[in-house]
């Protein structure tokens, strides 16, 4: 049994959802943006737009220059989350979903019967048909089937859109030759530089490298894991503990003054604090991130007594905000990160336990009201002018809960 992993990657996901819901967009180049502004960037592009060289990160003005007929659409994160949950259910009706990796990726495990190539390929076609029937024909996906999840993910990238690629262990290593090593998960620009310095430029070079060489390239155990994964072996990776959570927002033109941006930053922190409590975590460090129009950026951080208290975190945020450069160009993007996370149940109470308890009761009451009557039914007043700004966003590996992060 060499085929074990069944990897599903939904193609141009955000743009495909828009084309599914809006028939007038089908067959047209579509760019999805966080805010309707010429200075923002596309966060997704349909395959019709990709044909013009438009991709994630392309500025709207550049996208219009390359493709004057492009349709620019504002993102609707709650809709994408709803589609995601529907898709997970549809796939799960055909084969159990082991892990959801992101809003547009999931991996399943093949059983002994399904590990036969013809059966696995039939299953892939069955999954695609189920998606078309239950969700819509615009929701195309590429499916990779391989001995492990690493190679299955790679296989899903080799044929897009609507691909189906199988990599069998018996076909290794030749099946990988010719694939750019940039396509491998976990191999970014800095790793490419390290590999090049070791004389590794192609997939053939990488496969021929010794385990010791890859351990050196990856500074330890991850190099050994790469060596095994490339050979189709199942590699155990211990679960990682979440070390940070946060929110960021690209500012609309009317929100780029310090006053407007400050209100949005406070809203972002209040959302992050709510998530912190929901996940039963406390944070020991707060980071504030400011990006400016001239591509400069400013970062600062503050160590905290571990806390999940919104008021305490807002006080720390105000201290960071006062440290920012005063002579600076307009802001483009703002973000807050709660780091050094730990479990709340292991948290030692401060000397002011009674005050802490009163504050905890306040946070619990606000969370309960917002859960019952809708997000932002109650909030701290500094975010009042931003109540319609910074809507829910979808990060690469974080699928938001509309009840916690939505705007209704």
Q: Are residues 43 and 136 in the same domain?
A: yes
161 prior amide bond cis, ω within 30 = yes
Q: What CATH number should be reported for the domain holding residue 84? A: 3.30.70.270
Instruction: Look at residues 150, 171, 192 and tell me which one is the last residue of a structural domain.
Output: 171
- In this structure, the answer to whether residues 341 and 260 fall within a common structural domain is yes
SS3 content of the chain, % helix, strand, coil (to 5): 45, 20, 35
User: Which CATH number is 179's domain given?
Assistant: 1.10.150.20
Residues 39 and 104 in one domain: yes
Side-by-side strand order, sheet with 244-250: 244-250, 331-343, 281-292, 297-307
Residues of the chain above pLDDT 70, percent: 89
Distance in angstroms (rounded) separating the CA atoms of residues 278 and 366: 12
Q: Point out the domain boundary residue: 145, 171, 197.
A: 171
Q: Verify that 354 and 227 share a domain, yes or no.
A: no
User: Cα(255)–Cα(246) distance, rounded to whole angstroms?
Assistant: 20
Which residue carries 């790679």 as its tokens? 154
Residue 125 parent element (H or E) = helix 117-134
CA distance 123 to 279: 36
pTM above 0.95, yes or no: no
pLDDT at 380: 73
Sign of the alpha-carbon torsion through 40, 45, 48, 53: positive
On whether both 49 and 142 belong to a single domain, the answer is yes
Whether 68 and 102 share a structural domain: yes
The parent domain of residue 62 ranges over 1-171
Instruction: Please identify, among 151, 171, 191, the residue that sits at the C-terminal boundary of a domain.
Output: 171
12 & 160 share domain: yes
Q: What is the structure's pLDDT at 354?
A: 47
Domain identity same for 167 and 212: no
Model pLDDT, residue 381: 74
Query: What's the pLDDT score for residue 398?
Result: 61
Q: Are 51 and 66 in contact (CB under 8 A)?
A: no
Indicate which CATH number applies to the domain containing 368.
Answer: 3.30.1490.100
pLDDT for residue 328: 87
- Tokens describing residue 286: 């707060």
CA 320, CA 304: separation in Å to the nearest integer?
Answer: 12
- Which parts of the chain sit beneath pLDDT 50? 348-349, 351-354, 408
233 and 293 both lie in a single domain: no
CA distance readout (Å), 221 to 142, 217, 282: 30, 10, 30
Which residue in the block uniquely carries the two structure tokens 């979440």? 242
Q: What is the pLDDT of residue 349?
A: 46
Residues 20 and 112 in one domain: yes
Residue range 183-204, pLDDT digits in tens: 999 899 999 999 999 999 999 9
Give the sheet arrangement for strand 105-109, strand by strand.
97-102, 105-109, 5-10, 141-146, 164-166
Look at the chain and report how many structural domains it folds into. Answer: 3
Residues 6+ apart with CB under 8 A from 62: 54
Residues 6+ apart with CB under 8 A from 291: 297, 331, 332, 333, 334
Q: Which residue has the tokens 């946070």?
A: 363
Contact (Cβ atoms closer than 8 angstroms) between residue 123 and residue 94: yes
Alpha carbon distance 191, 301 (integer Å): 28
Residues 314, 318: Cα–Cα separation, whole Å: 6
The answer to whether residues 359 and 272 belong to one domain is: yes
Specify the pLDDT at position 31: 98
Based on the fold, state whether residues 307 and 194 are members of the same structural domain.
no
């Amino acid at each position: 049994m060499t085929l074990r992993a069944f990897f599903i990657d939904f193609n141009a996901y955000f743009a495909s959802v828009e084309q599914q819901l809006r028939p007038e967009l089908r067959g047209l180049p579509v760019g999805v943006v966080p805010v309707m502004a010429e200075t923002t960037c596309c966060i997704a592009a349909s395959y019709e737009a990709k044909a013009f060289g438009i991709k994630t990160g392309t500025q709207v003005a550049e996208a219009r220059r390359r493709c004057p007929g492009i349709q620019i659409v504002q993102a609707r994160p709650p809709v994408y989350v709803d589609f995601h949950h529907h898709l997970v259910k549809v796939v799960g009706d055909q084969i159990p979903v082991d892990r959801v990796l992101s809003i547009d990726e999931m991996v399943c495990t093949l059983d002994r019967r399904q590990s036969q190539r013809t059966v696995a390929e039939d299953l892939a076609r069955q999954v695609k048909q189920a998606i078309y029937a239950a969700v819509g024909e615009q929701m195309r996906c590429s499916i990779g089937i391989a001995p492990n999840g690493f190679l299955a993910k790679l296989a899903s990238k080799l044929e897009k859109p609507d691909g189906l690629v199988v990599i069998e262990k018996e076909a290794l290593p030749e099946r990988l030759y010719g694939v750019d090593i940039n396509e491998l998960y976990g191999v970014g620009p800095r790793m490419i530089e390290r590999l090049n310095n070791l004389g590794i430029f192609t997939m053939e070079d990488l496969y021929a490298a010794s385990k010791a060489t890859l351990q050196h390239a990856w500074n330890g155990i991850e190099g050994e894991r790469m060596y095994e994964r490339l050979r189709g072996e199942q590699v155990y990776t211990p679960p990682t503990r979440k070390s940070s959570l946060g929110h960021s927002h690209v500012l609309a033109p009317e929100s780029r003054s310090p006053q407007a941006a400050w209100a949005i930053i406070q809203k972002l922190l209040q959302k992050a604090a709510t998530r912190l409590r929901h996940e039963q975590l406390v944070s020991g460090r707060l980071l504030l991130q400011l990006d400016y129009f001239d591509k400069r950026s400013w970062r600062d951080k503050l160590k905290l007594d571990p806390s999940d208290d919104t008021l305490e975190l807002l006080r720390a945020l105000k201290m960071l905000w006062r440290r920012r450069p005063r002579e600076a160009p307009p802001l483009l993007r703002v973000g807050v990160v709660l780091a050094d996370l730990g479990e709340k149940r292991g948290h030692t109470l401060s000397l002011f336990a009674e005050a802490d308890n009163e504050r905890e009761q306040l946070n619990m009451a606000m969370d309960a009201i917002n859960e019952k009557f809708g997000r932002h039914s109650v909030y701290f007043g500094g975010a009042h002018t931003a109540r319609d700004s910074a809507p829910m966003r979808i990060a690469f590996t974080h699928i938001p809960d509309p009840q916690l992060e939505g705007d209704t």
